[in-house]
Chains A and B, each alone.
Chain A
Amino acid sequence: MRARLIGPAAAVALLIALPFIADNYILRIATSMLMYAALASSWNYIGGFAGYPSFATAAFFGLGAYAGGILQSKGIPMVAAWLIAGVIVAAFASAVGRAILRLRGHYFAIASLVIADVLREVINGMTGVTGGGMGLNVPVMKIDVTTQARLFYAAMLVVAALAVVTSAFLDRSRIGFGLRCIEQNEDVALRLGVHTARYKTIAFALSSIYPALAGAVYASWVSYIDPAEAFDVLFSIKPIIMALLGGAGTVAGPIVGAFIFQAMEELVWRNFLSVHLGLLGLIVVLLILFLPQGLLRHRLLRARRRPLLVKAP
C-alpha cells in the first residue's frame, strides 16, 4: 500500500515546489496543464461517469472568463470576481441543464455544443459591456512578472485540485454510483429508483463550476479575451480527448490524459507549428481507433480495480 503512494506523493511534491524551481516559461506551461486537468476532470463527471457526451465545457469556460473579466474591470477584486463567476455559471448550467438533459445521445451533444455558440454571439453583440469583437481587456496587476506567474500557477493548482477532489468524492459516493448506473442503462436505472434527473443536473452543474473558475483565472492571467477565443470549441474538445486518453470514468484518467496530451501538444507546437493541428487530429484518430478505453484501462497498465465496476470488454 505504501509503495503505491510514492508516485502520487512525488507528483504532488513536484507540483508544490515548481514555482520555486522553474522559470516563467515552464510555469506558464504548467499552469496551462493544470487548467486542462481541471477541465478534463470536470467533463468526466457528466461525460465519463454519466455517459452524457457534453460539449458544453467551452460554454462554461468562456462564460466564466467573461463574468470574471467584466466584474474585474468594474473594480471587483480579482479572487472575489473569480468566485462570483463560478456561482453565476453554476446557476446558468443548472438552468440550461434542466432543459437539455432530457435529450439523449446526438441531440444532447449538439445542444451542449451549440450553447457555446449562442453565448459567443450574444457576448459579441453586447459591445458596450463586453467590448464585443474588440475583446475585453482585464486590468493588468501591478506586480512583477515572476510573482504574477507564481500567483496564477497557484490559483490554477487550487482549481485543479478541487476538481480532482470532487471527482474522487463523486467516485465513491452514492451520486457517483447513480451516475454510473445511468451510463450503463438509464431507463433501467430510473426504474430501479435512481433519481436520474436530479443526479444528471448535479453532475452537469458540477461539471460547470471548475471550468468557470478556470476561465475566470484564465481571463485575469492573459489580460485579454475575445468571444471567438473564450468560447473556442477546442476548450470542449480537448478535455474530452484528454479524458478519453487517460480513461473516461476514472478519477486519475483525465489528469493523466491532460498532462500527457499537453506535453505532446507543446512538443508539437514548438517544432511543427504549421502542422500542429493536423498532428493533433492524427493523435485523436489513432486514439479513437486503437485506444478508445484510455491508457489507464489498457491491459498493460491496468491497476487492480474493484470488481463491481469492471466494464464489459
Chain B
Amino acid sequence: MKLSPAALLRLLSRFAFALTLAGVSMAAAAQNMILIGAPLPLTGGLAPEGLKLQRGYDLWAEEVNKTGGISVGNARMPVKMVYYDYQSNTPRAVQLAEKLITDDKVNFLFSPFGSGATKAASAVSEKYGVPTIAPTASSVEVYDQHYKNLFGTYTPNSTLTEPIAELVRKNAPQVARVAILARNDLYPLALAEEFERSSKARGLNVVYFEKYAIGTLDHASAITQMRAAKPDWIIATGYINDMVLVHKQMSDQNLRAPVVTMINGPAYQEFIDATGALANNVTTASWWHPAARYTSKDVFKSSENFTNLFRTKYKVEPDFTSAGAAVAGAVLQMAIETAGTLDRDKVRSALRDGKFATFFGPIAFGPEGYANSYTPPVLQIQGGKPVVLVPADIKMADFGLGV
C-alpha cells in the first residue's frame, strides 16, 4: 500500500495544528472588558470607508473609557474594539465575523461596511445569536431575512430618494428625463431602484438605467450612452472611488445636466478634493451632517460636541460614515446600560425596545431591525463645500441648478 508515509505526514500535521489552536484558545479566555468585534475593509476598494468607520469606533471607545467604561449593573467595564481587515472582500468579512465570535469571543459585533457585506455577515450573527449593530446598511433587502440579531442605524434608501426627488420637482419642474447609472452591488443598486421609483412616481421619464460591474475603471461607454439619451437629471450610485471616477469621466466627455446626483461621494471631503470646481451643484444625501444640532443622552451629549471631539482628535470634519460608527457604539452602550448586563438576550431586547436619543438623531429600531426615526439630510456642493438643503431646521442654502 502506498499510503503509509502519507498518512503519517497527515497525522503529524494534524496534531501540530491542533496544538497551535489549543494554545490560542487558552489565551482568549481572560476577560474583564467588553469585547466588540468589527471586521473592517482597511485595505482594498472600500478602504476609505473602512478607515472612517475605524475612526468613529475609536473615538467612541476612547470617550467611553475616559468615564471608566460602560456601566453594567454596578460595575464599569472598559470597552475594547477588536478589528480585522477583510480587504474589501465580502466572504472574508463573513469568515472574520465568525472568527471574532468563536475565536476572539467578542460579546457583540458591528457589521462590516455596506449593505452587501452586512447582509452576508448577518447570517453568522444569527447563527450564533450575537446582537449586531449595522452602522452603514440602509437597504431594506438587508433586513428581509427576519433575523433577530441585526440592528441598522440607517433609515431606508427611500428616505434619501424621496426628498431629493421632491426638491427636483419643486425647484426644477422642467426636468423630465432621468438617467441612472448604478454599481452592481447591493446598496447602490437598491438605491438606484428607489430613485427609479421616486422619479416615476413624479411622472419623470427614466431614459437610461444601467449597472456597471464592481471594480469598473472605464465608464466611457456608459457615459456616451447617457449623453445620447439627453438627460435632465443624472443619478449615479456607488462608493467614493466609483463616484470620483464617474465624475471625472463625465467631464472628460463633457456630459452636463441641470441636476446631477451622486451617492455616496460628494458628502465626503475626499470627493471634493478630487474633483475640485467641477463638483459644484452636485447633489447628494447622507444620514448625518456636522451641521446637525441634536442634544443627546449618549456619551457625546450633543452633535456639536461629537463634531468638536472628532475634529480635535483627527483634524478633519466628521462625515456620516464615521458618525454612523460612533453612534453604533453609543446605541450599544445605552442598550447595555438599560439591560444592566452583558447577557445577549437581555441586550437584544433592550436594543429592540429602546428609544435612543443620540447625537446622530433619535434612533429607534423598527420591527424589521432598521431605524426609521429621523430625517436624513440632503446636501449640495456649493462653493466647494456641502451645504444642507433638507431638513428645514438645519437648512443652509437653496437648491442650485446646473452642473
Direct contact of A and B (CB under 8 A): yes
The answer on a CB contact under 8 Å between A8 and B20 is no
| B89 cross-chain contacts in A, Cβ below 8 A | 229
Judge if A188 is at the interface, Cβ distance under 8 Å: no
A10 within 8 A of B: yes
Does A4 lie within 8 Å of B3, measured CB to CB?
yes
- Given A124-B213, A229-B89: A296 and B5 interface contact (C-beta under 8 Å): yes
Q: Known contacts A25-B102, A260-B13, A266-B17; is A134 also within 8 Å of B4 by CB?
A: no
Task: Specify which chain B residues have a CB less than 8 angstroms from the CB of A273 in the assembled complex.
Answer: 84-85
Given contacts A134-B185, A267-B20, contact A1 B7 (CB under 8 A): no
Residues in A neighbouring B186, C-beta threshold 8 A: 133-135
Chain A, 22-37, CB within 8 A of any chain B CB: 22-26, 28-29
Of the candidates A7, A148, A224, A251, which one forms a contact with B4 in the assembled complex, judged by CB atoms under 8 Å apart?
A: A7
Nearest residue (CB) in B for A252 is: B6
The segment from B116-124, B195-203, B391-399 that touches chain A is B116-124
Interface residues on B, range: 35 or more
Once the chains bind, are B7 and A7 in contact (CB under 8 Å)?
A: yes
In the complex the two chains form, is B17's CB within 8 Å of A8's CB?
Answer: no
Give the residues in chain B near A246, CB-CB below 8 Å. 6
In this complex, the member of B17, B24, B25 whose beta carbon has the largest number of chain A beta carbons within 10 angstroms is B17
- Structural contact, A260 and B9, CB atoms closer than 8 A: yes
A10-B13 contact given A124-B213, A251-B2, CB 8 Å threshold: no
Q: Is the CB of A140 within 8 A of B127?
A: yes
Q: Given the complex of chains A and B, what is the CA–CA distance between A25 and B128 in angstroms?
A: 13
Residue from A124, A134, A148, A222 within 8 A of B141 (CB atoms): A134
Q: Among the listed stretches B62-70, B90-98, B279-287, B362-370, which one makes contact with chain A, having 4 or more residues with CB under 8 Å of it?
A: B90-98
Q: Does B71 contact A (CB under 8 A)?
A: no
For the complex, is B217 an interface residue (Cβ under 8 Å from A)?
no
B14 within 8 Å of A (CB atoms): yes
Q: Tell me which residues across on chain B come within 8 A of A260, comparing CB atoms.
A: 9-10, 13
Main secondary structure of the interface of A (DSSP, over half): helix
A263 and B11 CA atoms in complex are apart in Å by 11
Q: Is B18 an interface residue (CB 8 A)?
A: yes
A23-B103 Cα distance, complex, nearest whole Å: 11
Residue from the list B21, B90, B126 in contact with A26, Cβ < 8 A:
B21
A226 contacts B91, CB within 8 Å? yes
Assembly CA distance A22 to B3 (angstroms): 25
* Residues of chain B within 8 A of A7, CB atoms compared: 3-8, 11
Structural contact, A301 and B123, CB atoms closer than 8 A: no
Contacts of A274 in B (CB 8 A): 85
Chain A residue contacts of B25, Cβ below 8 A: 23, 25
B13 touches A134 (CB 8 A): no
Taking CB atoms, residues of chain B closer than 8 Å to A4 are 1, 3-4
* Interface flag for B189 (CB, 8 Å): yes
Pick the 3 closest A-B CB pairs, nearest first.
A7-B7, A133-B184, A134-B186
